[in-house]
Amino acid sequence: MAGIGFELRKAITRGGIGSFVKVAFSGIMIVAGPWLLSIVGITTIQRFMSFAVKEAPEHFMGVIIYSYAWSMVLSGGLHFVYTRMMADMLFSRKEREAAGALVFFLVPTFIAALAISSAFAAALDAPVADPLLFRASAVVLFVSINLIWLLMIFISLLKWYVRILVIYTTGLSVSLLLVYLLGRAAGTAGALAGYAAGHLGIALLLMLLSFIAHRPKEVWSNARRFLTYMKRFFPLFATGMLYSWAVWVDKIVYWITLGERAPGTFISLFGRFDIAVYVANLSMIPGLVYFVIDSETSFYLALRSFLVSLGRGTYAEIQRRKNTVMEKLTQGVIDQSFFQGVISAALIALSPALGGMLGLETATLRIVLVGVFFHLMFLTLMNFTFYLEYFRHALAGSALFFLVNLAGALTSLPGLPLLPPGVSYLAGAAVAAVFTGKALFVSGRRMDRIILAKISGV
């Protein structure tokens, strides 16, 4: 993601506020487009279009939340390996091969998502006027979301920021318009069809944009490359799987133990907590963009200079540049925590008003907001470990996040003292951030010896 960070920096340097706003909003879409779509869409529909889903609102919400949750949980590990493959190809300036890899991943993802969602949709017996349309829309939505996750990684290499922004905003607008129109005409099934159609449009347009920019090349040769990457970077795959489960495991446990089942379906939701999580996650988006603009780009430049010095620099120069990397790392973590801390503190102070507007408990919203702060810090530190290839640190941090969150959520089982919802998520994210930060800084002081040992095969 450092590429778009450099473009944002150029926009700031040029002093053009219009250029900065354009690229900044595109950066938000690239970093968190699907999440923003779901959160803004759900909030808008709940506040202003509830009539469109009044026939079966819990079924409508359930399909959307489950689609996003399970698309991440089932493919998180694959996304991490795919991102690494893309990064290596782009570093070698093999854009057409990267487009070929995109096709290679899109095809099996489409087939798998279609098969999984069709099986689950067959079990949906929602009390709507058109059950077949409801099931078909659920399938289209799940498939579209899975494709968008892959496409948003690839489009980060493109510099067509206005087009990316237009695609996302148009898709969201069309989605909401169709929810309004089809919801009036066909009830909840129509509303879901409209919501899914907007996502499908985004997926198709992003795909078109990607292949206009770079014509795919050597599509199926990626099968061997993928197997090589899976073998070499299996800790990265495991990290992606554990991280995705860590983020969602408490929600899944609460759905099973405390949730209310939507009649005629397997879908169970824990409404007062689910919506608080969605709202609180919005607070992460500015922090993610800040990371891309400042923390990541500064660290990347220092790291690149250090790596170059390993091949031709003197010992003194290597140590000096290593110290610069550590300084950038330290400053990046401090600045990131301060930036996100200010946002989180402001929202915590405003949580009574926000909770009143959205019908949420203030205490739950505040707990989740603090959890999102630590979650973002862990995500920041985990990305730094990826740059240094300290994959085991990221894996251990994700495992801690998962285990602590799971253990805390299991207190919702009958007969156990229930922790307030969100506490396990907060605790898991905090433990993961502290552990990963400590491991990263300890190993960082020895990065020259670690890297040279890898090069020499020691």
Q: How confident is the model at residue 110 (pLDDT cuts 50, 70, 90)?
A: very high
Residue 30 has pLDDT above 70, yes or no: no
Pairing of strands 268-269, 260-261: antiparallel
Residue 454 has pLDDT above 50, yes or no: yes
The model's pLDDT over 220-272, given as tens digits with 9 standing for 90+, comes to: 888 888 999 999 999 999 999 999 999 999 999 999 999 988 888 888 989 88
Residue 378, Cα to own-chain centre: how many angstroms? 13
The model's pLDDT over 372-408, given as tens digits with 9 standing for 90+, comes to: 999 999 999 999 999 888 899 999 999 999 999 999 9
Query: Per 3-state DSSP, what percentage of the chain is helix, strand, and coil (rounded to 5)?
Result: 85, 0, 15
Question: Which pLDDT value is given to residue 7?
Answer: 53
Question: Which pLDDT value is given to residue 371?
Answer: 97
Q: How confident is the model at residue 312 (pLDDT cuts 50, 70, 90)?
A: confident
Question: Which pLDDT value is given to residue 458?
Answer: 46
Residue 31 has pLDDT above 60, yes or no: yes
DSSP classification of residue 130: -
Question: Which pLDDT value is given to residue 47?
Answer: 75
pTM of the model: 0.88
More confident call, 24 vs 414: 414
Question: Which pLDDT value is given to residue 13?
Answer: 53
Asked if 286 and 280 count as a contact pair (C-beta separation under 8 A), the reply is no
Question: Which pLDDT value is given to residue 2?
Answer: 42
Residue 37 tokens read as 């779509």
Q: What is the mean pLDDT of residues 433-446?
A: 91
- What is the overall mean pLDDT for the chain? 86
Residue 224, judged by CB atoms within 10 A of its CB (0-12, 13-18, 19+), counts as: exposed
Q: How far is CA 44 from CA 58, 90, 158, 281, in A?
A: 16, 38, 30, 16
Q: How far is CA 155 from CA 149, 161, 207, in A?
A: 11, 9, 9
